[in-house]
Structure 1
């Protein structure tokens, strides 16, 4: 992959075919900045919850802001869990962002209220143990050396806005199944900042708010589609 100073995908302005990405439309905020960032990274982007388009797209982008329970309720209103699960069953790439990452775990606990998540990964999303919340602003991450998502941006800072996160990781590889690549960050203690697990990738931070490093990260994801 050739690096670009503007972070856009190589060939994105040469007339070549662009990967298609559906941003799942279930009522989440912040989708317009996500759409713009994906377009800058080199994707042909559509905002929809249409089952056929979700299934047919090269990649599915799952945004998420606000409360874990509210996002799960909104997803249920468009049968989002079913659409995500069908893509993953067929090995079709999915990228979750912020609460769109959190809902991939078994459950979320907010103000002593527990909400069932999608259960793609074992674990619980809980309040960070930091003195200052929310964790808002730029932070570094510790990515595995073989991470594809962080290729070229492993030493960069990314933009976080959250008070909750998964702070443990339990899923390991077995047999021919490779162990997920887990990236960590720290705010009052370590938490999961990103995961690369077969076709299912996710970040706790917002790449669409992370400037050039965020666009490069999205470019890296698009390159795998």
Structure 2
């Protein structure tokens, strides 16, 4: 079972439906025991970083997500969920994140359209099981803030939006995608499928 973690913020339905379309059982859940028992977990997110972290703390799920990550089972953060994996964010003040990956989240700066919204090319810059038999292409982004990983080796893919922008990060069985794989056509679903394959629990 794949747990889609419900902490009150996120496109839970579209993510869970994408998981099911790929042949896996998905459960949208905020139950700690169910999350910790899952074969893989997804942390989605839409909204503000500070509000998301407050919800995670208030529901007790901050500890659960950290415990899950420490278990070594596959965990994927999507969009805001990816940003939450980092140490801190400057969105509407300074907020501490989950600190599962060292780095910070900053606002786009420049005379160009913000938020970054639409289809952009991926460029793979690291090696990952997510990329097995996958060719780069266009995926769908919607964000005003972007992550700056401290460790070069945690950066797996970038896109260009007036500057190189972190698109995929990963270390061990922990991954993050700034774009929405569930809204990114064939390429997005292929990348999500590669993540799900790491759980080795395909059904159907």
Distance 1:119 1:193 in 2: 18
Deviation at 1:146, TM superposition (A): 2.9
Secondary structure at 2:13 match in 1: helix
Q: TM-score, normalised by structure 1?
A: 0.83
Secondary structure at 1:133 match in 2: coil
2:158 alignment partner in structure 1:
184
Any gaps of 5 or more consecutive residues in structure 2? 200-204
Deviation at 1:221, TM superposition (A): 0.6
1:146 alignment partner in structure 2:
127
Secondary structure at 2:187 match in 1: helix
> Which consecutive aligned stretches of 4+ in structure 1 deviate over 6 angstroms post-superposition?
none
Secondary structure at 2:157 match in 1: strand
Q: Is the 8 A contact 2:146 2:166 kept in 1?
A: yes
Secondary structure at 2:62 match in 1: helix
Distance 1:80 1:151 in 2: 32
Distance 1:145 1:114 in 2: 29
2:103 alignment partner in structure 1:
123
Deviation at 1:84, TM superposition (A): 1.2
Secondary structure at 1:23 match in 2: strand
1:26 alignment partner in structure 2:
7
Q: Deviations over 1:56-115 (max 9, x none)?
A: 11101000001111111111122222111111222111100000010111111124x111
Q: TM-score, normalised by structure 2?
A: 0.91
Check if 1:157 corresponds to 2:138.
Answer: yes
Deviation at 1:145, TM superposition (A): 5.8
2:197 alignment partner in structure 1:
223
Bigger radius of gyration, 1 or 2?
A: 1
Deviation at 1:181, TM superposition (A): 4.9
Q: Which structure has the highest helix share of the two?
A: 2
Distance 1:29 1:120 in 2: 20
Deviation at 1:38, TM superposition (A): 0.8
Distance 1:48 1:193 in 2: 26
Find 1:57's aligned residue among 38, 56, 59: 38
Deviation at 1:142, TM superposition (A): 1.2
Deviation at 1:213, TM superposition (A): 1.3
Structural RMSD (CA) = 1.5
Distance 1:163 1:181 in 2: 19
2:29 alignment partner in structure 1:
48
1:25-104 to structure 2, matched below 5 A, reads 25-104=6-85
Deviation at 1:201, TM superposition (A): 0.6
Q: Is the 8 A contact 1:22 1:57 kept in 2?
A: yes
1:15 alignment partner in structure 2:
none
Q: Is the 8 A contact 1:129 1:188 kept in 2?
A: no
